[in-house]
Amino acid sequence: MKMNEFIARLKQQPRIGGVPRLPITNVGAQVSQAVQQAAATTTVNEQVQQLAQQLANQIIAERDQTQLTARNGRTYTKFDPVNDIIANQTEVVTAGLWSDNLASLTTYYTSSVQTTSQRRYYVDVYQDIPTADGAAVQFSLAFGHALGSGSDSQGQLNDSPSRAVYSQYRQLLLAPTDTRFTTAGSGSTDYIYVVNFKRNRMKERLDPGNWEIPLKPIASRATNATGSVVTGSGAIIQLIDDSSIAAANIGQSGKVYNIVSGSINSGIHNPSNPVYYGLAYPDYGTLILDGKMLDQKLGFATNTGSSSEGNNHFVLFRSVSGSAPFIDPATADPYGFLARNSEKVTSTHYFVRIKNAEYNFSNNPSYVTGSVGQIAQSTFVGDPKTYITTVGLYNDRQELLAVSKLSKPLLKSFQREALIRVKLDF
């Protein structure tokens, strides 16, 4: 309603209860003045808001320009902890256990460097002639007897090598109340054969389900196995663990699996009624083979004579090495001692995000020329280019903590952006 129409209607109103009407002219003037003041206030507020918006836009533009200028010549970029860093990522990594990360071992050598005294306790097995470059111990073999039989105490009461070996592994792998190794093959056993993987090759543990040891039957042996040991014509027996059909038993030594007849390629032989040969301790990288089962199935004829120098672990060495010349019909490859290690790796991923305006100039003195630092290559003026070869990770004090090398230089220019993922394993 227009102001004039509003005042005219007020004049036409009758008296109310004999009370004269208010001066309509003054009321109209006051209303008009109030409306004008309100309109003026609204205009001022709008102007203030417009000026504030212009100032904010100017501040944002200056900040963006400052950031752009800083990016053009920046040396460091801070990571965004939320978007650029992903920590505590874990994965299980497996690799061949033998030298050069090979998973199959088909050559076996012992060393004359071991003294006679050492060989009475264990024998180290190499993948190459011990004097050759790159030759290294892959695993060791030992024989243990709870009562010390099968080895000579050399006049030392209750100090025979076989007794020391059995006691060592009993304390290492069994509960304090257990005095004997107990297998599903023969029950409690007084004597064992031990396969012990080198700790540096095993990393964290032997990978369950990914090891296989071939054993050739023994036809005859000398009383002292460092002498003549002849393999027989019988079929080679392959041993694996039963992790494919049974959960591990958890003891003080970690996970424990049964050692059974079978192969990685074909699985457990007769899984409904396996033939058990011992116990596997993957966390310790140790295989305990039941001596009674090796005597029964492979003709080891273990020397268990009192104070008799048997060196029975050399029979196990001959059984393993004697399988190498033969071909496995299931794989058409030579029988090999197969093994993989397993390791849980914790990683942190750093995502280095390089925008198009960043890192297009180099601090290398060859990049510029003259006293004022002009760009040496005229084609780089207005269109500079660099090649990223290295990423360095620094702490807040700009101290270099890690360096990552790219497989090949990465071209960077105003037309190119880059995303580089740096992975740190712990």
Q: Are residues 274 and 388 both part of a single domain?
A: no
CB of 384 closer than 8 Å to CB of 361:
yes
Q: Cα(143)–Cα(134) distance, rounded to whole angstroms?
A: 28
Tally Cβ neighbours within 10 Å of residue 299.
18
* Mean pLDDT across 14-34: 54
**Residue 376: what pLDDT?**
74
Where are the strands (E) in 304-339, listed by range? 327-328, 333-334, 337-338
**Residue 262: what pLDDT?**
97
Q: Are residues 135 and 199 both part of a single domain?
A: yes
Q: Are residues 257 and 274 both part of a single domain?
A: yes
Q: Is residue 205 part of a domain?
A: yes
**Residue 56: what pLDDT?**
85
Q: Are residues 327 and 410 both part of a single domain?
A: no
Last residue of a domain, one of 270, 305, 338: 338
* Mean pLDDT across 255-274: 96
Cβ-based burial of 420 (10 A; exposed 0-12, middle 13-18, buried ≥19): middle
Q: State yes or no: pLDDT of 43 exceeds 90.
A: no
Express as a percent the part of the chain with pLDDT over 90: 62
Q: Are residues 78 and 110 both part of a single domain?
A: no
**Residue 153: what pLDDT?**
80
Q: Is residue 399 part of a domain?
A: yes
Last residue of a domain, one of 313, 338, 363: 338
For 341-367, write each residue's pLDDT tens digit. Answer: 999 889 999 999 988 888 888 777 877
Q: Is residue 286 part of a domain?
A: yes
Tally Cβ neighbours within 10 Å of residue 49.
10
Q: Is residue 414 part of a domain?
A: yes
Q: Is residue 66 part of a domain?
A: no
Q: Are residues 19 and 168 both part of a single domain?
A: no
For 201-230, write each residue's pLDDT tens digit. Answer: 988 999 999 999 999 999 999 999 999 999
Q: State yes or no: pLDDT of 71 exceeds 70.
A: no
**Residue 369: what pLDDT?**
82
Closest CA to 281 of 337, 193, 205, 182: 205
In this structure, what DSSP letter does residue 13 have?
A: P
Q: Is residue 69 part of a domain?
A: no
Q: Is residue 67 part of a domain?
A: no
Q: Are residues 299 and 384 both part of a single domain?
A: no
**Residue 28: what pLDDT?**
56
Q: Are residues 83 and 114 both part of a single domain?
A: no
Q: Is residue 25 part of a domain?
A: yes
Q: How many structural domains is the chain composed of? A: 3
Q: Are residues 296 and 388 both part of a single domain?
A: no
Structure tokens at 35: 């409306």
Last residue of a domain, one of 289, 314, 338: 338
For 118-152, write each residue's pLDDT tens digit. Answer: 999 999 999 999 999 999 999 999 999 999 999 98
Q: Are residues 316 and 362 both part of a single domain?
A: no
The pTM score is 0.71
Q: Are residues 114 and 49 both part of a single domain?
A: no
* Mean pLDDT across 275-289: 97
Closest CA to 322 of 218, 419, 396, 422: 218
Question: CB within 8 A of 117, min separation 6: which ones?
Answer: none
CB of 94 closer than 8 Å to CB of 340:
yes
Q: State yes or no: pLDDT of 2 exceeds 70.
A: no
What's the whole-number average pLDDT of the chain?
Answer: 87
- Give helix then strand counts, H and E, for the chain: 7, 26
Residue numbers of the domain that contains 7: 3-61
**Better pLDDT: 66 or 277:** 277
Q: Are residues 311 and 373 both part of a single domain?
A: no
Q: Cα(404)–Cα(392) distance, rounded to whole angstroms?
A: 6
